[in-house]
Homo-oligomer: A and B are copies of this chain.
Amino acid sequence: MNKIMMKGTEAIGEAAIRAGCRLYFGYPITPQSELTEYMARRLPQVEGTFLQAESEVAAVNMIYGASSVGKRVMTSTSSPGFSLMQEGVSYIACAQLPSVFVNVVRGGPGLGDIQPSQGDYFQATKGGGHGDYKLLVLSPSTVQEAADLTGVAFELADKYRNPVLIFADGLLGQMMEPVSFSDKKVSYDNSSWALIGAKNRPARQVTSFNIDPYGLEKMNLELQKKYKLMEENEIRYETTLTEDADILIVAHGTMGRIAKSVVEMARKDGLKVGLFRPITLYPFPYEALRKSAADVSLVLTVEMSSGQMLEDVRLAIAERTRVEFYGRMAGVVPMPLEIYEVLKQKIGRRS
């Protein structure tokens, strides 16, 4: 497989096309506009359709439309844009429409800045929109992984008829790394539920509406069953030197690979530090983390936020172990040495 240097945003775009996505609707916003622009350039070359929506609100509803007629479709945005999509996302989740979203998170809240951040973790994993729904949330840490997980995202979306969110940050979006793509032919078939004309069968409805609360509760229970299945089958994470670790760092996305450098530093100093990197943020790898953390004396969660995944980490290990947090906000990226210093300090304080 030939490797080419690509930005994370562009790799996601190319991978989507390889996954059979021929439709993109989106609205420009830094730091993800490269993905929008990539699709504008590439999709016409493969007889696909690129359309710049008039807003993120329009974009998410175009996704709803394209998905409801059975096609693989995707959009991408950055934080404020994803906030605008929340109503639509809730509709899509309830109507069980497969679709892929990319949020290249930037510093917030509000207009914030355009630097990398992970401050939309809660929004992504707990449901930024209304009601009891879940997105499948994937957090890649390298450009290659971003490409690979994009393929996975389309598969999972169809498998569960659920929206999938690729949660990236500005670092990953802008970073270039060598990447290769699989040439596997993809095919998919959503004709069993999609709105493609009531020909030789009863008319079909795709809906998030049920005026009868018992009917709606049934719809919700179906969703919950599906989420249960996801929790059983779709958990992904990566561990580095956790077997003998006395101290565990938990970090996701690019923060995860920055933390890997910390592990390397610490190991050189003879400190038994390991790394747990959740790849699926929802479903969160509670069980696996609990195991990895079973014998450590300290868990340090590092995020580019004020501490959001931290709550899931706490839930996972139920405070049997001390859980500390370190984070930077607003696009300030915690650096390896910086984190290592914090780590040493926390250990110091312990003794």
Using a CB–CB distance below 8 Å, which chain A residues touch chain B?
57, 79-80, 82-84, 86-87, 90-95, 105, 107-115, 117, 119-120, 122-123, 126-133, 207-217, 219-221, 223-224, 305-306, 308, 311, 314-315, 318-319, 328-332
Contact = CB atoms under 8 A, between A and B. Distances in A.
A337 B59 CA distance: 46
Contact of A213 (B95, B115, B133, B223): B115
Interface centre among A57, A92, A217, A314, by most chain B C-beta atoms within 10 angstroms, is: A217
Contacts of A128: 83, 86, 123, 127-130
A54 to B, nearest CB: 13
A238 to B, nearest CB: 25
A80 B108 CA distance: 23
A213 B330 contact: yes
Contacts of A210: 112-113, 330
Contacts of A331: 213, 216-217
A215 B331 CA distance: 10
Interface centre among A87, A94, A109, by most chain B C-beta atoms within 10 angstroms, is: A109
A185 to B, nearest CB: 34
Given A80-B130, A91-B110, A210-B330, 20 more contacts: A80-B91, A84-B87, A86-B128, A90-B108, A93-B110, A94-B109, A94-B111, A107-B216, A109-B132, A109-B208, A110-B209, A111-B209, A112-B208, A113-B209, A113-B216, A115-B213, A122-B126, A213-B332, A311-B311, A314-B318
Nearest to A111: B209
A218 B94 CA distance: 39
A128 B86 CA distance: 8
Contact of A131 (B90, B120, B126, B224): B120
A213 B83 contact: no
A330 B208 CA distance: 11
Contacts of A87: 80, 83-84
Task: Rank and list the top 8 A-B pairs by shortest CB-CB distance, nearest first.
Answer: A108-B131, A110-B208, A109-B131, A94-B110, A216-B330, A79-B130, A213-B331, A122-B126
Contacts of A82: 130
B80 A83 contact: no
Contacts of A215: 330
A113 B208 contact: no
28 contacts: A83-B87, A86-B128, A93-B109, A93-B110, A94-B109, A107-B131, A107-B213, A107-B216, A108-B133, A109-B131, A111-B209, A112-B209, A112-B210, A113-B213, A115-B216, A120-B130, A123-B128, A128-B129, A128-B130, A210-B330, A214-B330, A214-B332, A216-B331, A219-B330, A220-B329, A220-B330, A221-B329, A224-B306
A223 B92 CA distance: 33
